[in-house]
Amino acid sequence: MKVVHSIEDLRNQLRGQLRVAFVPTMGNLHAAHLSLMRLARQHGDPVVASIFVNRLQFGPHEDFDRYPRTLAQDIEKLEGERDVYVLFAPDERELYPEPQNFRIQPGDALGKILEGEFRPDFFMGVSTVVLKLFSCVQPQVAVFGKKDYQQLMVVRAMCRQFQLPVEILAHETVRDPDGLALSSRNRYLSADERAEAPQLYGLLQQVRDMIASGRSDCAAAESQALQTLRDRGWDPDYVSVRRQRDLLAPTAAEIHEGEPLVVLTAARLGATRLIDNLEFQAGR
Ligand code: PAF
């Protein structure tokens, strides 16, 4: 695997390649990232991965400074798997060379709801860096995890609206055996918090079961889930049932007719904010 830090070296490595598959990451790679690389390998050749902790997508009181930076170990993991041909690991000056940056702002209907309500500049930061990375790598295919469900939808909308010729592939959320979705932020959890953390996924399953079986409407299931989280010591931002296609709230008729749905949540356990989601369909 070639490790390059400049856009010029990246382009030299990729000259003439016709089906580049790309996996953008912020590093601190774990099994879920490696699985994204494997999916990329099935859909393109060569595979390019990037590692860049993007300041622009962190809020002022978020964990940018303490976000784990583990480049040497990440390189070892990628070399062990042998799926990646080039790792692009730019520094901030390479990706943001001028102090006054152009920024991409998703429309409010997708960018300011759910995560966007609680992290106001998050999707601006994600869209801006993903557009920059796409412009550097010029992939034909790019892989994103469904754990960041709304991010995946924002990236898809950006590609559509800017006519970017990149096919976006979604990888299923990878979980530990107890159900906790893999995330670089899980390493912030204490032993007690780690034992509690899978409850978040358990709760999503309960919401799904209540709605899919017709035992509850969305509002009642959501507020029951929020209360359960609070009772267990969590500080939830939201638990919300939405349509898969646009993340708007479904009507009762749509639920009844089998509209594909997703329940999404974000909640703080101690100092760690976890997100998760679960797709389902009423009547299935
Ligand atoms: O999901 C992530 O790791 C990041 O948001 C991404 C897509 C690499 C952009 O910085």
Nearest CA to ligand 1 atom 1: 25
pTM over 0.85: yes
Ligand 1 pocket: which residues have CB below 6 Å?
24-26, 54, 57, 126, 129-130, 148, 151
The pLDDT of residue 284: 53
Residue 85, Cβ density class (10 Å: 0-12 exposed, 13-18 middle, ≥19 buried):
buried
Task: Give the model confidence (pLDDT) of 91-133 as tens digits.
Answer: 999 999 998 789 999 999 999 999 999 999 999 999 999 999 9
Task: Give the model confidence (pLDDT) of 188-237 as tens digits.
Answer: 999 999 999 999 999 999 999 999 998 889 999 999 999 999 999 999 99
Question: Distance from the CA of 257 to the center of ligand 1, in angstroms?
Answer: 35
Signed CA dihedral, 11, 13, 18, 23: sign only: negative
* Contact in structure between 132 and 95 (CB atoms under 8 Å): yes
Nearest CA to ligand 1 atom 6: 25
* Contact in structure between 168 and 238 (CB atoms under 8 Å): no
